[in-house]
Amino acid sequence: MATLIVIIVFALFLGAILTGGYNREYLERMQKSWIWQWITTVDHKRIGILYLLAGGFFFGVAGLEALLIRIQLMFPDNQLLTGDFYNQVLTMHGTTMIFLVALPLLFGLMNVIVPLQIGARDVAFPFLNSLGFWLYFAGGLLLNLSWLFGGAPDSGWTNYATLALNDYSPGPGINYYVLGLQIAGIGTLISGINFLVTIVNMRAPGMSYLRMPLFTWTTFVASILILFAFPPLTAGLFMMMFDRLFDTKFFAISGGGNVTIWQHIFWIFGHPEVYIIMVPAFGIFSDVISTFSKKRLFGYNSMVFATVLIGFLGFMVWVHHMFTVGLGPIANTIFAIATMAIAVPTGIKIFNWLFTMWGGRIRFTTSMLFAAGFIVTFVMGGVTGVMLAVVPANLQVHDTYFVVAHFHYVLIGGTIQGFFAGLYFWWPKMFGTLLNERLGKAHFWLFYLGHHLTFFPQHFLGLFGMPRRIFTYMKGYELEMSNLLSSIGAILMTAGVLALLYNIMLTLRKGEPAGSDPWDGRSLEWAISSPPPVYNFAQIPRVRGLDPWWLEKYEGDGTLKAAEPLGPIHMPSPNHLPFLMAMSFFISGLGFVFHSWQVGFLGLIGVAIILFVRSFEEDHGYHIQPDEWNGVES
Amino acid sequence: MKRYLPAKWVVACLLMIFIWVTGCAKHNMSVLDPQGPVGKVQLNLLYLSTGIMTFVVIVVAVIYIYVVVRYRERPGDEEKDPPEQVAGSKKLEILWTSVPILLLIVLAIPTISTTFTLNKKPDPDHSIRINVIGYQYWWGFEYPDYKVTTSNEVHIPTGKKVEFILKAHDVIHSFWVPSLGGKEDLTPGRTTRLVLQADKPGIYEGKCTELCGASHALMRFRVVAHQPEDFEDWIASQVTPDSTPKNKQAEQGRRLFAQNCIGCHAIRGAGYKVLGRTAPELTAFSERTRIAGVLDNNRANLKSWLKNPQGIKPGNRMPAFDHLTDQQVEAMVEYLETLK
Amino acid sequence: MRIEEQTASVAGLPAEPEKATLEGKNKILGFWFFLAAETTLFATMIGTYLALKGETMNGPTPYELFKMPMVAFATLILLTSSLTSVLGIMGMHANQLKKLLQWFGITILLGAVFLGLEVYEFMEYAHEGHTFTSSAFGSSFYLLLGTHGGHVLFGVLWILGLMIQGRKKGITVHTAPKFYVASLYWHFVDVVWIFIFTVVYLMGMIP
């Protein structure tokens, strides 16, 4: 009965929206509101901001979860979060941070900046760009809805079978995990393809591959990784979903299933995934370091080569997450050597950054502080990575707090600090105002010291025999002091993030105007006004070398050369279908979570209908005529 | 000048932490204080890699500190021309590509050889075999050569290789005794093995290190290493356990056990016709150091465990026996705590 | 872009109408990337099938189960449909809408016959106790074949939709990339089938 009501309401709802039938006047009023404009936007800069908002929201959620974990572990035998609830918190912390925070925050910056850096008016597929965002958001929302209805997933972000199967996780939690990630994953794949085509096809004349800024390059490499890493996850999630919903036997031992297959599939996806969220941060740091050192990036070509090599090797090392599975010494050593090999291109990058600064004139803005701090943190995270590749040593520290320390060093030191560096760097470009530097420095020091205080002692916790993912530990095993320090560090990090929030609020209310080029930038985005006009470039620029804007400023006359005459500019029209489609996916996912096939399939039918509507749609966009902007641009 | 203060403060702080946490561990739970050859070999590799990596860190740190101090922008620099735009340097780039490769080769060779050595099957005449079965939140141990079973505490002889043959009953677990050596997973549907050895008698803490459910944190066990002759005595006492009730109260406890516990738990040598195998075996229970792997083994703790097992180890399969009267609980405790 | 479109309708289509606009080029390149992703998806499923095909749980083995003559016939049909879709695209390049629609019509007809045969085949297997939930072999078999079959079904519906669009709008620089991409998709589904035929059916014939 309940399903029937849901179906009827949903059908009416969908019908009403698709036909625009029930109240035209109301619809028209809605279409003028700002919320409708943001929902239907296909402007890459606005979608970027949506990514930042959603990613920031989930960052808050997952950060609170982290804080809860640290409060529970602050003292031995603490009783705040125990048993299954603790497992839910740690699972959601990891899953949210990896899938809903790290990548979307980077996607936000990519969306705003990459088209500007290559001199394009938009991304290749504005519609798909919007669809990618809304699918990600729908998936993230679905996943986090688990807190309210039925309990969150509790098998870790790696979600190993058989713990994740019905027998051992009977609630709907893992269903949320499977379906939420499936939906968000489709969105990510779409965005990845969009970035790839944008970078291949939409570069301005003269912007050859070896003139692209490093952030664009790393976006390109990360997108290729997305392209090949997410489909295995899709396949794996399907298997897990069928095992849970339809009683198939992929991982069920009783039916001949094999739990190691899930581990392989997960890490064939999982290892490239951590590079997907690392590599773009490398790009941000490269741009930030060279800008604030007032120097061209040292060894540009080898930087590009190292990035590509890291991406390629990223697919060859997944077994290093499985050294204790017992795959035999041959497999283990091969993957150990492949893992060590990654240290070489990573080392190339570190030294290239150092020598970019060498002989430069370094301005320690907040953005640069994050980049400089990153080098220290990342070298420490990197060396523990090599230590983990040493198989016999790995057997000792695998799945202990040593590993927790290692990956937080690289992920916070790399991805999160990279995002912060990028945020302070490009905020003026996005919003036309400068973030407050004093607060920014407070943010940096609190967060940075907090990070080291949190995670440095965790190396020792691991060596002292503390496994990861445990909700309590006993008194008298030398674990108390390090855990306490670690928890205090987490509080400092929280204070740092609060300083950032306060800074953003302050700046949005009355920020200092930035001008188009506040940092003496090097790439094309600094040649246009802040925030950029909706069409980005009145005339598509002609690029004459690496660091084109620097080139024009210091060796040319300080203006970009145009590659085309002034003329009407073609723009894509806003579209509400991506939002509807994500909503249909969301409803479908929710249906499947609760084994309600009717609702599940109804959602999918909704998706199919919208696909067809889209295919038949005549969307030629609109044109901005020269006189519309003549007065604005000088 | 004031701006430099935080950096110094960090160093001082990190140093303090370092001194604090490396303070010597008195318990047998630390990777840094190995008690057997496997753990020692692994620690040596850990030290070797730490050494090589410390060298890398120092090189980077020296360049980094120099660069950050020497090339920071100073007042008045704004008016000068921008610095020279250097494209790169072939020589330097070759240097920092090849030196890491050399360092990694130095690290890779012992990695490979040790990995293969540690995987060697021990000589059956000079080693013993123990089957380990991981259940949600407890460990079952079988000695196939002696027909002895026990749980949560495994006894081994010193100076002898022990081959643990690992199986999982329900979900993936991982078998780890930090002070004896590295871990291996127990995977449902597969059999894996791990060879360890203890040099000195003692009690070594063990852990499950693969998330296995609500009480993963409490899935602890202990390895008790004896001198070889003491080990033979222990085995002998396990083959013929003393499970007869010593007094009337214990006899009542024996009967209550038969009514309430025998479906899941087993006590050998007590005349029970059934031996439950879905929960830890309790033969010679009074000799255990821990209850359920988490509580010190004494009467008070056993009582609270019987009354509220879920509160102590959330999600485990044991129901609370709160329908028993205090007198009945006393009887059961009396019986269990006299099993030898 | 408007201007191009108008000139196109007056002076006839460019030689390769699907690549005449930047949007068309983007669409085709993006679709190639999408197919690369799909390849990894199927590779994962084929790998899983290979790992699990021995786990029949006393049910029929691949050798006992597969109906080779019928599968070979279905393969022939699907391969032919790839050819007809090429003929359709040739019609498009010659700016002959009728030829395009005819050949695409035959393509989806063949696709539908293939689907029918596959459904019949699955029903036969289910009779013999080989189902989605009977064993790990069954699960991995139906996941792989089902995903492929789902792709064929989607292709049939998609091309059907495109044919309706083609009738309404004709061949323009906007519709041409859609036809072209759909035919790419159809070839891809075909190539995947060749792999499935080899790995699942032919290798399954080794007892």
Task: Name the domain count of chain B.
Answer: 3
Give A161's contacts (C-beta < 8 A, 6+ positions apart). A240, A243, A250, A251, A257, A259, A262
One-character DSSP codes across C50-94:
HHHTT--TTS--HHHH--HHHHHHHHHHHHHHHHHHHHHHHHHHT
The DSSP secondary-structure symbol of C198 reads: I
ipTM: 0.93
pLDDT given for residue A12 in this prediction: 73
pLDDT given for residue A633 in this prediction: 43
Q: Could you give the percent of chain B with pLDDT greater than 90?
A: 74
For residue A62, pLDDT over 70 is answered with yes
Q: What residues of chain A lie within 8 A of the CB of C44, using their CB?
A: 231-232, 235-236, 265, 268
Q: Do B107 and B52 fall into the same domain? A: yes
With CB atoms and an 8 Å threshold, state whether B92 touches A355: yes
SS (H, E, C) A69-97: HHHHCCCCCCCCCCHHHHHHHHHHHHHHH
With CB atoms and an 8 Å threshold, state whether A393 touches B42: yes
pLDDT given for residue A627 in this prediction: 57
β-sheet with B148-151: strand ranges across? B148-151, B138-143, B127-135, B161-168, B192-196
pLDDT given for residue A34 in this prediction: 86
Q: Give B77's pLDDT tier (boundaries 50, 70, 90).
A: confident
pLDDT given for residue A215 in this prediction: 97
- Closest chain C residue to A251, measured at CA: C136
- Closest chain C residue to A242, measured at CA: C139
- Closest chain C residue to A620, measured at CA: C2
Domains and CATH numbers, chain C: 69-207 (1.20.120.80)
pLDDT given for residue B16 in this prediction: 64
The domain spanning residue B272 has which CATH number?
Answer: 2.60.40.420
Please compute the mean of the pLDDT values over residues B166-192 and round it to a whole number: 95
For residue A316, pLDDT over 80 is answered with yes
Please compute the mean of the pLDDT values over residues B65-80 and round it to a whole number: 89
Q: What residues of chain B lie within 8 A of the CB of A340, using their CB?
A: 104, 107-108
Q: Would you kindly state where each structural domain of chain A is located, as residue ranges? A: 365-514
pLDDT given for residue B24 in this prediction: 46
Q: Give C206's pLDDT tier (boundaries 50, 70, 90).
A: confident
Q: Do B295 and B206 fall into the same domain? A: no
Q: What residues of chain A lie within 8 A of the CB of C139, using their CB?
A: 239, 242-243, 248-250, 255, 257
Q: What residues of chain C lie within 8 A of the CB of A231, using their CB?
A: 37-41, 44
Q: What is the pLDDT of residues B297-332, one digit of tens each?
A: 999 999 999 999 999 999 999 998 888 899 999 999
Q: How far apart are CA A568 and CA A622, in angstroms?
A: 10
Please compute the mean of the pLDDT values over residues A401-419 and round it to a whole number: 96
pLDDT given for residue A476 in this prediction: 86
Q: Give B275's pLDDT tier (boundaries 50, 70, 90).
A: confident
With CB atoms and an 8 Å threshold, state whether A344 touches B212: no
Q: Do B138 and B220 fall into the same domain? A: yes
Q: Give C11's pLDDT tier (boundaries 50, 70, 90).
A: very low
Tokens coding C175: 């519709």
pLDDT given for residue B285 in this prediction: 93
- Cis peptide preceding A346, ω within 30 of 0: no
Q: Do B214 and B267 fall into the same domain? A: no
Q: What residues of chain B lie within 8 A of the CB of A357, using their CB?
A: 67-68, 71
Touching check for A166 and chain B: CB below 8 Å? no
Alpha-carbon distance A248 to nearest alpha carbon in chain C (angstroms): 4
Q: Give B14's pLDDT tier (boundaries 50, 70, 90).
A: low
Touching check for A270 and chain C: CB below 8 Å? no
Q: What residues of chain B lie within 8 A of the CB of A481, using their CB?
A: 20-21
Please compute the mean of the pLDDT values over residues B3-18 and round it to a whole number: 59
**Among candidate residues A213, A189, A17, the one with its CA nearest the CA of residue A103:** A189
For residue A88, pLDDT over 80 is answered with yes
pLDDT given for residue A20 in this prediction: 58
Three-class SS of residue C24? helix
Query: What beta strand segments (E) does chain B contain?
Result: 127-135, 138-143, 148-151, 153-157, 161-168, 173-177, 181-186, 192-196, 202-208, 220-226, 290-291, 295-296
Q: What residues of chain A lie within 8 A of the CB of B292, using their CB?
A: none
For residue C182, pLDDT over 60 is answered with yes
With CB atoms and an 8 Å threshold, state whether A298 touches B86: yes
- Closest chain A residue to C55, measured at CA: A256
pLDDT given for residue C1 in this prediction: 38
Looking at the DSSP bridge assignments, the partners of residue B130 are B164
Q: Do B306 and B328 fall into the same domain? A: yes
pLDDT given for residue A438 in this prediction: 95
For residue A334, pLDDT over 80 is answered with yes
B173 domain residue, yes or no: yes
Q: What residues of chain C lie within 8 A of the CB of A232, using their CB?
A: 40-41, 44
Please compute the mean of the pLDDT values over residues A58-77 and round it to a whole number: 95
Q: How far apart are CA C150 and CA C192, in angstroms?
A: 12
Q: Average pLDDT of chain B?
A: 90
pLDDT given for residue B26 in this prediction: 59
Among A162, A452, A477, the residue with its CB nearest the CB of B188 is A162
Q: How far apart are CA A605 and CA C100, in angstroms?
A: 29
For residue A17, pLDDT over 70 is answered with no
Please compute the mean of the pLDDT values over residues C97-121 and round it to a whole number: 95
Q: Given B227, B262, B296, which residue is the final one in a domain?
A: B227
Instruction: Name the residue type at position A53.
Output: L
For residue A634, pLDDT over 70 is answered with no
Looking at the DSSP bridge assignments, the partners of residue A400 are A467
Looking at the DSSP bridge assignments, the partners of residue B194 are B164
For residue B12, pLDDT over 70 is answered with no
Q: Do B304 and B328 fall into the same domain? A: yes
Tokens coding B85: 């735009």
pLDDT given for residue A629 in this prediction: 53
pLDDT given for residue A619 in this prediction: 76
Domain with B53 in it:
31-66+92-120
Q: What is the pLDDT of residues C16-52, one digit of tens each?
A: 888 888 999 999 999 999 999 999 999 999 999 999 9
Q: Do B331 and B279 fall into the same domain? A: yes
Helical packing angle, B299-307 and B326-336, nearest 10°:
130
B86 domain residue, yes or no: no
**Among candidate residues A291, A346, A376, the one with its CA nearest the CA of residue B64:** A376
pLDDT given for residue B2 in this prediction: 42
- Closest chain A residue to C132, measured at CA: A248
Residue holding tokens 């016959």?
Answer: C113
Give A629's contacts (C-beta < 8 A, 6+ positions apart). A533, A535, A538
Touching check for B119 and chain A: CB below 8 Å? yes
Alpha-carbon distance B96 to nearest alpha carbon in chain A (angstroms): 6
- Cis peptide preceding A172, ω within 30 of 0: no
Q: What is the pLDDT of residues A560-588, one digit of tens each?
A: 999 988 889 989 999 999 999 999 999 99
**Among candidate residues B92, C58, B80, the one with its CA nearest the CA of residue A254:** C58
Q: Given B160, B194, B227, which residue is the final one in a domain?
A: B227
Among C29, C40, C56, the residue with its CB nearest the CB of A228 is C40
For residue A632, pLDDT over 50 is answered with no
B36 domain residue, yes or no: yes
Q: What is the pLDDT of residues A27-58, one digit of tens each?
A: 677 777 888 889 999 999 999 999 999 999 99
Q: Give B155's pLDDT tier (boundaries 50, 70, 90).
A: very high
Q: Give B130's pLDDT tier (boundaries 50, 70, 90).
A: very high
